Amino acid sequence: MAFVGNTKTYGLTNVLNFIASSRYSGKLRIYFKKLRIDLFLLQGQLAIPLNQNWKPIFLQDELKTENLASGTPPENLRTQVEEAIYEIFFKGDANYIFDRDEVPELLQNANQTDIWFMKIPTDSLLMEASRRLDDFERAQNAIQSTNNLFYATCDSSQEEPDQAKLLSYINGARNLHEIVQDSGFSLYHVVTSLEKFIQEKKVKILEPEKYLHTLQKFIQEKDYHSAFCLYKHLLLENNVDLEQLGQILFQNSEILTSPHLHHIQGKIKGNQALCLVYDFLKYASNVALQLKSHYTRTLILKKDRLIFKKGIQFLRNLLLTCVDRKIFSKDEIKPWKSILLLSEENFRPNSLIQKGLSGAVLLIATFLEELGLLSLEENLDIHTLPLTELSEEEEKDCLSFPLTEETRKIILQFILEWKEIQQNTLEHQHIVVLVRPARKKYVETNFPIIGDFLRYFHRNRNRIDEVRQKMGRQVGTVEFYAKLLYHLKQNDLRILQPKELKELVCAEMMIENYITAIRMIEAGKIQDPNDLFFQRKLEEIRLLSEESIVADDDRLIGDLASFSLAEVLQNLINNQLTGTLRITIPNSKKEMYFDRGDIFLLKEEEEASETTVSTFLDTEALNSLSEVAESQELDLEELAEIARQEIYELFLWEGASFTFILDALPEKYYNPQENVIKLSLDSQIFLMQAMDILDMWEEISKVITTEKVIFRFTSEESKLQALAMGKNPHIIYMIDGFHNVEDLIRISNMGKLETCSFLFYDLYMAGLAVPLDYRELIIKGQEAYKKRDFTTALKYYEYALKLDPKNERLQKITSGLQKLVNQNQKN
């Protein structure tokens, strides 16, 4: 089983330290928001392959023989590689999967003398990474926000060359990530330098109210590059006046011919793009503007033309949309039906217009919808270039429309209205429903157009964005939000209130409809973020669901056979995390709770039902603890000690897996009922004892490798000697070469640790008892089979298979015996 988690519950330094200390080999796949990185480890050490340019290879797909480095390595190669690794720790939150023993064949077969890969001592690298992370976290507090703009107040010529270069980019036009991108320095270097500059009063944060004044200063100084950088930030301000901003930036004719205007490249948010189109459409007619989204939606503004790069499928949908919205009828579309059926290679979009379809209709239907969709995108690529550099290839197979003065005015007016709609629209998590009077007036009477729109909100349980998707082509994006705001103002629609949402959450959870319940919770948290009800119910759903169905559901998952539970516990305690640790075997699961690093158990005095999974101790253990407490009048501290011993048994469960669910605790933890006792464990004492037990078990498990182990006494005298000790006679009598360890634990009613400890230290180490060897197991298995004692034979062969797991003959024999045992049980 892979080790699965995220950096919120178990940081990258913790994961790598755990892998290094365990000397594991494998592949650590790290998934950031828009990036994947593969790190390879050999016996706990990082093994970094290098490409032909002597750069680290961080993706397995790029690990190919023809891509590997050769020749003479450059100077300071190790430092460069280590710096590239350090940068990984600063890329933000990530999910990761560690696949143990999955190492690419190229690395497995590599020799120490091979120059195309480098082994990095993990311990020393992690020490430096941890130091940098501490510095980074402290520095971030000084920066306050990565979106802040910074400007220098000192003379950079008096600084060291590197610092002077960095200060030249800190001029009030860039935020943190733009400084990193433009300067070429690492994120760590920029953040820690900014902190130092701020402390020394060499750098300050630019206040938003000074943005316009600073923009005017850049223009006066003819620093057009900085002006355009700041311009992009101004586009994000809700209260910005587009007319005023456009006039300030483009009133100087020099700007329109500036090379900076012709070569703007980078990322931009959708709502920024909306304003950008407005200004370029109105003022910068000598520049081509291209916007491209992740979904290959591309818009190009070119002086007197508007270009959409679209495929044939888009045009099919566009024509169907025009029919749905009654722009023209199905009969009017027939002349172009044959064109739409042609292959994409032979299809030319502009042939639609040449055939007579109204260009104006397509312009309005296409542009307004496309611009509306682009403005909702989180990340767009922006690129400006001179008109002369826009090749004919850019317009090939595109929809191209003339931009007349009339259509230009329509688009500009649309942008202003759409920007106002965006500012007033609701968060997409809100749930909007139809009110009864409007239902009677519009929906039940089949009122045209209005009724068709409002019926989607009748008993609605979907978020606003989900309702929009359900409407499909019938209503455009811009039209949808405009109508939504209108009908909310007319009181035809209303937002579900927190009280209603709470009732719906409980109702949906009762029928285990968790997806809908989560929608209600998100809507409630938007309206009242301080109401603990919604957060608690979200935690409850996370605990009830076996898989992650909640967005950003932070979990750490692994198995006890491959990964140390003690390491995980130490991380949870030391980092003072809160959440539920669930340990599972096929037929049982138990839980322990962490509250800012402190460990708690919940003891229920009444018998739990079979479906209850949120109590740590099972029914039998609870009853026995209750009886012990009552008979011996134990206080809670002594009761907790007994419970703690029960926990240690979990460390030894065979085939167990664990899941830690961050920031999720059951309702009864917060509000325990009278029959629930919350037991607090001393975290440090618990962890120390746990580590001692694991050290002990590591020694024991070298002999008792599985619960299938079968012991025998070395002689009759040895058995008598064992009985003379006066310890655990009921176990001694069952050591007969027939009962395995699993039987001894079950029949003796002793814990696994206590049973195995007695077998190992008191009997095995004293030379009184030994496990059956492979030869004995096969002989005894054959003898039992001849007597048709299939159950006994299965015991011997199961243990033999544990000793030789790759033996195909043993696998077949064990499988056949299991079938015979099952068949006998049925009969």
H or E, element range at 641 = helix 636-650
Greater confidence (319 vs 224) lies with 224
Q: What is the pLDDT at residue 464?
A: 93
Q: Across residues 513-525, what is the average pLDDT?
A: 92
pLDDT tens, position by position, 196-223: 999 999 999 999 889 989 999 998 888 8
Structure tokens at 432: 């909007």
pLDDT band at residue 655, thresholds of 50, 70 and 90? Answer: confident
74 pLDDT above the threshold of 70: yes
Contacts of 45 (CB under 8 A, 6+ apart): 20, 119, 120, 121, 122
Maximum mean pLDDT: which of 68-72, 330-334, 763-767: 763-767
Pick the CATH number of 144-206 from 3.30.300.30, 3.40.50.10320, 3.40.50.720, 1.10.10.10: 1.10.10.10
Q: Compute the distance between CA of residue 364 and CA of residue 406 in angstroms, rounded to an integer.
A: 12
From residue 679, how far is each of 266, 574, 641, 644, 674 by CA, in Å?
56, 20, 10, 10, 14
pLDDT band at residue 401, thresholds of 50, 70 and 90? Answer: low
pLDDT band at residue 679, thresholds of 50, 70 and 90? Answer: confident
What residue ranges do the domains of the chain occupy? 3-134, 144-206, 209-260, 267-404, 432-495, 498-544, 555-699, 704-826
Q: Compute the distance between CA of residue 97 and CA of residue 77 in angstroms, rounded to an integer.
A: 28
The pLDDT > 90 percentage for the chain reads 32
Going by C-alpha positions, the residue among 429, 473, 478, 437 that lies closest to residue 454 is 437
Q: How many residues does the chain have?
A: 827
The pLDDT > 70 percentage for the chain reads 84
SS (H, E, C) 617-636: CCHHHHHHHHHHHHHHCCCH
Q: What is the mean pLDDT of the chain?
A: 81
pLDDT tens, position by position, 458-513: 999 999 989 988 887 677 777 788 889 889 999 999 999 999 999 999 999 998 89
pLDDT band at residue 432, thresholds of 50, 70 and 90? Answer: very high
Extended strands (E) in 114-168: 117-120, 149-152
Q: Compute the distance between CA of residue 570 and CA of residue 581 in angstroms, rounded to an integer.
A: 13
Q: Please work out, in degrees rounded to the nearest 5, the angle formed at the alpha carbon of residue 512 by the alpha carbons of 509 and 518.
A: 55
Q: Which phi and psi (to 5°) does residue 356 adopt?
A: 115, 0
Going by C-alpha positions, the residue among 377, 363, 376 that lies closest to residue 411 is 363
pLDDT tens, position by position, 232-276: 888 777 677 777 787 888 777 788 777 777 777 777 888 788 888
H or E, element range at 484 = helix 477-489
Q: What is the pLDDT at residue 296?
A: 57
Q: What is the pLDDT at residue 344?
A: 36
Q: Up-side HSE of residue 24: CA atoms within 13 Å toward CB?
A: 24
Burial class (CB in 10 A: 0-12, 13-18, 19+), 643: buried
Burial class (CB in 10 A: 0-12, 13-18, 19+), 796: buried
pTM higher than 0.85: no
Contacts of 761 (CB under 8 A, 6+ apart): none
pLDDT band at residue 169, thresholds of 50, 70 and 90? Answer: very high
pLDDT band at residue 640, thresholds of 50, 70 and 90? Answer: low
* Integer-rounded Cα radius of gyration of the chain: 35
From residue 792, how far is each of 176, 737, 780, 814 by CA, in Å?
70, 11, 9, 12
Q: What is the pLDDT at residue 520?
A: 94
SS (H, E, C) 525-560: HHHCCCCHHHHHHHHHHHHHCCCCCCCCCCEEEEEC
Residue 793 and residue 784 in contact, taking contact as beta carbons nearer than 8 Å:
yes
Q: Compute the distance between CA of residue 404 and CA of residue 420 in angstroms, rounded to an integer.
A: 25
